Amino acid sequence: MAQHDRQIPEKDRCRTCTGSGWTLWPADELSQSAKWVVCRECNGTGRTDRKGRKRLKPDEAPEPN
């Protein structure tokens, strides 16, 4: 099974990144656009217990508000 198809049970998902393993770093004056960074809470696994492989980076970042 491909990593992006792996399902994490709702109770085991990281609350910061909701199980994706990545968080959006907002744009500021120094960087021109927002970028995806590994979630610090789960170290990119998407799980609260930090078990498992790192999740794949999202293909496209949503538009920051």
Tell which residue, 57, 8, 60, 54, has the closest CA to residue 33: 60
What pTM value is reported for the model? Answer: 0.65
- Residue by residue, DSSP assigns 1-64 as --GGGPPPPGGGB-TTTTTSSEEEEPP-SSSSS-EEEE-TTTTTS-BTT--SPPPPPPSSPPPP
Position with higher pLDDT, 60 vs 65: 60
pLDDT tens digits, one per residue of 13-55: 999 998 889 998 887 776 678 888 999 999 999 998 877 788 8
Q: How confident is the model at residue 1 (pLDDT cuts 50, 70, 90)?
A: very low
Strands 35-38 and 22-25: what pairing?
antiparallel
Q: What is the pLDDT of residue 15?
A: 92
